């Protein structure tokens, strides 16, 4: 009888709940019971309604201006995790440290599981570490909106060791901050690969400032499979670059930036302007950056030097670095000055 009585009370409570909360009841019928557990253990919250009367979808839409679609997508990600944490405390904490509404939206949209983090034990230590690095206010919000995954990583086992590793590879603290701002989310989880690839580059003679510049300008190479890096170096050597040569890193960068087909097309463009293939390769070895521009830009520059400025082809072969100079800001203005001086017989 006691058991039946309890059953009866349970059914009465359940029916009463369904009548008072039809929307939430519908949500529960669609496998969202886990969601309720996120709010049921809180005695009070800063939300305008009690935890039992509001769903995460409504809360995000009403208080943080997420669209309905965004709120539903986030709720589905959270419903798979059984954790009695308090999502609104995370959101309010982000407001307190100066994140804008749009930055909060971006951060949570990309990594909804952050809402299940414990603010004092998990989030605050990481945020304070990022602030010590130099990220403050809206800049901190911008950093988190791009690298929110870091808030799900271990501070002492992942974030701090990798930052210290990067600091040793870079020459300047400003370069470290710039690198973290743009690429921390995928560099920090790959610390071991960064170390391994840095060691490989050093074995090829890319050390000191060259290694630092390579990490700053081509960070993806430090998380690339080493077999692919070896292939790039092999191609550079076959094109005439020497291991331990200061020019290797420049050739390596250009080769890694484009496919073999694209590289060959640019060599053919140089040939179409009257150069031999051997001359085109000499130009590349002397100034790898000359092949770093678009095909259209490369052809335009060569034609200006040959047809307008009337430079001998041999001069361009021996000094291909002039192809990397700005035509609009440097080459053409100086050429006009030279023409003026010549017209007045001053040269």
Would you state the pLDDT for residue 80? 54
Name the helix (H) or strand (E) containing 283.
helix 277-286
pLDDT score for 87: 76
pLDDT of residue 91: 85
What's the rounded Cα separation, in Å, for the pair 63 and 59?
6
When divided into structural domains, the chain yields a total of 1
Residue 241 covered by a domain: no
Residue with tokens 């995928």: 186
Q: Is residue 213 exposed (0-12), middle (13-18) or buried (19+ Cβ within 10 Å)? A: middle
Residue 105 lies in a domain: no
231 occurs within a structural domain: no
Cβ burial, residue 327 (10 Å; 0-12/13-18/19+): middle
What single DSSP character describes residue 306?
I
Residue holding tokens 């519908």? Answer: 26
pTM tops 0.75, yes or no: no
Among residues 95, 93, 113, which one has the least CA distance to residue 38?
113
Spatial distance between the Cα atoms of 214 and 197, rounded to a whole number of angstroms: 11
- Phi, psi dihedrals of residue 194, rounded to the nearest 5°: -60, -45
- Runs of H (alpha helix) within 116-172: 124-133, 137-147, 160-169
pLDDT at 43: 34
pLDDT at 37: 38
Q: Characterise 227 by phi-psi region: left (phi > 0), alpha (psi -120 to 50), beta (else).
A: alpha
Neighbour tally for 226: CB within 10 Å: 12
Report the C-alpha gap between 86 and 43 in whole angstroms.
11
CB count in 10 Å sphere of residue 115 = 23
74 part of a folded domain: no
197: burial class by Cβ within 10 Å (0-12, 13-18, 19+)? buried
Specify the residue for token string 């271990």: 154
In terms of residues, how long is the chain? 347
3-state secondary structure of 345: coil
Q: Which domain holds residue 286?
A: 270-347
Q: Does residue 308 lie within any of the structural domains?
A: yes
Through-space distance between the first and last CA atoms of the chain, rounded to whole angstroms? 115
Domain-located, residue 317 = yes
pLDDT tens for the chain, residues 1 to 347:
444 444 443 443 444 434 444 444 444 344 333 333 333 333 334 444 334 334 677 877 877 778 888 888 887 777 655 444 567 788 889 999 999 888 988 998 888 889 888 899 999 999 999 999 999 888 999 999 999 899 999 999 999 999 999 999 998 999 999 999 999 999 999 999 999 999 999 999 999 999 999 999 999 999 999 999 999 999 999 999 998 889 999 999 999 999 999 999 999 999 999 999 999 999 999 999 999 999 999 999 999 999 999 999 999 999 999 999 999 999 999 999 988 998 888 87
The per-residue pLDDT for 179 is: 95
């Amino acid at each position: 009888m006691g058991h039946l009585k309890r059953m009866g009370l349970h059914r009465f409570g359940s029916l009463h709940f369904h009548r008072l909360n039809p929307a939430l009841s519908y949500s529960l019928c669609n496998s969202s019971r886990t969601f309720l557990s996120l709010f049921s253990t809180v005695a009070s919250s800063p939300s305008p309604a009690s935890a039992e009367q509001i769903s995460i979808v409504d809360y995000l839409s009403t208080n943080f201006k997420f669209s309905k679609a965004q709120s539903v997508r986030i709720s589905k990600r959270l419903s798979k995790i059984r954790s009695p944490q308090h999502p609104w405390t995370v959101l309010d904490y982000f407001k307190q440290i100066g994140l804008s509404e749009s930055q909060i939206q971006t951060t949570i949209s990309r990594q909804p599981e952050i809402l299940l983090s414990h603010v004092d034990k998990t989030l605050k230590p990481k945020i304070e570490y990022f602030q010590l690095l130099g990220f403050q206010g809206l800049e901190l919000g911008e950093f988190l909106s791009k690298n929110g995954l870091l808030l799900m990583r271990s501070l002492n086992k992942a974030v701090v060791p990798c930052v210290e590793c990067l600091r040793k590879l870079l020459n300047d603290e400003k370069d470290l901050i710039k690198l973290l701002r743009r690429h921390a989310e995928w560099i920090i989880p790959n610390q071991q690969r960064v170390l391994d690839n840095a060691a490989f580059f050093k074995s090829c003679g890319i050390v000191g400032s060259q290694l630092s510049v390579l990490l700053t300008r081509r960070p993806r190479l430090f998380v690339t499979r080493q077999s692919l890096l070896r292939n790039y170096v092999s191609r550079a050597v076959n094109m005439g670059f020497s291991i331990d040569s200061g020019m290797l890193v420049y050739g390596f960068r250009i080769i890694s930036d484009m496919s073999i087909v694209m590289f060959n097309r640019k060599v053919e463009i140089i040939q179409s302007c009257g150069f031999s293939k051997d001359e085109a390769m000499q130009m590349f070895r002397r100034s790898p950056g000359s092949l770093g521009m678009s095909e259209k830009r490369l052809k335009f520059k060569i034609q200006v030097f040959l047809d307008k400025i009337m430079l001998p082809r041999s001069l361009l072969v021996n000094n291909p670095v002039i192809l990397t100079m700005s035509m609009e800001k440097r080459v053409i203005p100086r050429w006009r000055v030279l023409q003026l001086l010549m017209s007045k017989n001053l040269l």
